[in-house]
Structure 1
Amino acid sequence: MHEDWNIGGWRVRLRPDSAELAPAYAFRAARFRSGAEDRDAFDAAALHLTVEGAAGLAAYARLFPQDGAEMARGYSAQAYDVTPLVARYRRAVEVGRVCLDDGAPDLPRLLLAVLARLVDRWEAELLWGCASFPGRVPPALGRLADRAAPWGPGRRAGVENADLPAAGAGAIPPMLRLYLAFGASVSGHAVVDRDLGTTHVLAMLPVREIPVARARLLRGMLAAA
């Protein structure tokens, strides 16, 4: 699948894995591994979303349209027991490796608008994926305690699980903050990723939970694209 849109001066492309994605992989590596190689076995099966402006690449995300069986084999399923999600949703889009240029505050909303279009096209019922915080169990995770979903994932053996702090302060990543504003929930626990030096929760945005007015706003952003 190849898509190429011009949205508000941004060039937005969706592409399968190929050699032409080398700049996107370098952009991703700079943000997740200080420039070290970040490619993995999941890249070949993914669709890669890039956003470019006048100054070059400004955003990247890795997408996986999935049915239930594919959810159970997905990237996030390595760290979470996603059995409850597989039972609840027939089709989903897993989103990962989100990278955003800090100098463009409109990028999270643009990215979510593009995801909303793809969710409609693929008839998905859920947007989901790992949302990372720098460091080991940072206090900011405590800000998510009241957004934990009772139907969320279980704890998986063999990973470093962590309770969400009872309370906390600190920044929530921009994309997760927008997900939450649109009705997302998170897992009731976090997982420490020693490989990347981060701690993540599983973010879950059921399509039916997006307020009608906000869904209309997202679709309106892409009406002319």
Structure 2
Amino acid sequence: MFGCSSFEGVDPACYQDAFAFLAENYRAPDALIPRKRSAETFDLPKGHPFDKKRAIAQLPPLLRTYLSLGGWVSDHAVVDRNLNTLHVLTALEIAAIQKLGRVLCARWFDLDACAAAASCVADANGAHSTTPTQ
């Protein structure tokens, strides 16, 4: 799954801690970094010091959620003056969400109920036709 996370405003200096934190901890694998196509971009600052608490506070809430599920971001951001935002490509592998879901389900609920729910979802998606037991 991919899209972009937007930071309000067009001044990267307002989010220097967040961008340095992202570059240091959540940069995409080299093979998956998109090329720069916009006329106005800036590189996320690798190797710059940052205040972790301030960096996390500067992140948009949805981006924090994606990162907590194993998401990653590009190595640059796009300046969008028309929308008054800075956009960072954000991606999350669906398999990571499913794996995390199974772990959380096992922690919070009965393991048999989790297996039945997974079978039901897989059946709804046409993966197989196992009927969950009650």
Fold shared by both chains (TM-score > 0.5):
yes
* 1:144 equivalent in structure 2: 22
Q: For residues 194 and 210 of structure 1, what CA distance do their matches in structure 2 show?
A: 33
Aligned residue number for residue 78 of structure 2: 191
Q: What is aligned with 2:40?
A: 160
Alpha carbons 1:130, 1:201 under 8 Å: kept: yes
Task: Give the deviation of 1:215 after TM superposition.
Answer: 5.0
TM-score by length of 2: 0.60
**1:130 maps to 2:4:** yes
Which residue of the other structure, out of 47, 50, 65, is the alignment partner of 1:178?
65
Question: Relative to structure 1, is the Cα distance of residues 203 and 215 closer, same or farther in structure 2, using a 3 angstrom cutoff?
Answer: farther
Count residues with an aligned counterpart. Answer: 94
Q: Which amino acid aligns with 1:181?
A: S
Moved over 6 A (4+): none
Match of 1:73 in 2: none
Letter in 1 for 2:73: V
What SS does the aligned partner of 1:141 have? helix
Equivalent pair of 2:71/2:93 in contact (CA under 8 Å): yes
For 1:215 and 1:180, locate their aligned partners in 2 and report how far apart those are by CA, in whole Å: 18
* Mapped contact 1:182–1:214 kept (Cα < 8 A): no
Cα distance in 2 between the residues matched to 1:167 and 1:214: 34
Counterparts of 2:2 and 2:26, CA distance in 1? 14
By relative contact order (CA 8 Å, sep 6+), the higher-ranking structure is 2
For structure 2, the residue ranges without an aligned partner over 5 or more in a row are: 106-113, 121-134
Identity of aligned residues (%): 40
Between the aligned partners of 1:200 and 1:215, the Cα distance in structure 2 is: 31
**Given that residues 186 and 203 in structure 1 are in contact (C-alpha distance below 8 angstroms), is that contact kept between their aligned partners in structure 2?**
yes
Structure 2 Cα separation of the partners of residues 174 and 215 of structure 1? 23
| Runs (5+) with no aligned partner, structure 1 | 1-126
- Kindly indicate whether the alpha-carbon contact (under 8 Å) linking 2:77 and 2:88 is maintained by their aligned counterparts in 1: yes
Measured in 1, the distance between the counterparts of 2:33 and 2:61 equals 22
Would the aligned equivalents of 1:161 and 1:189 in 2 still touch at CA under 8 Å? Answer: yes
Aligned Cα root-mean-square deviation (Å):
2.5
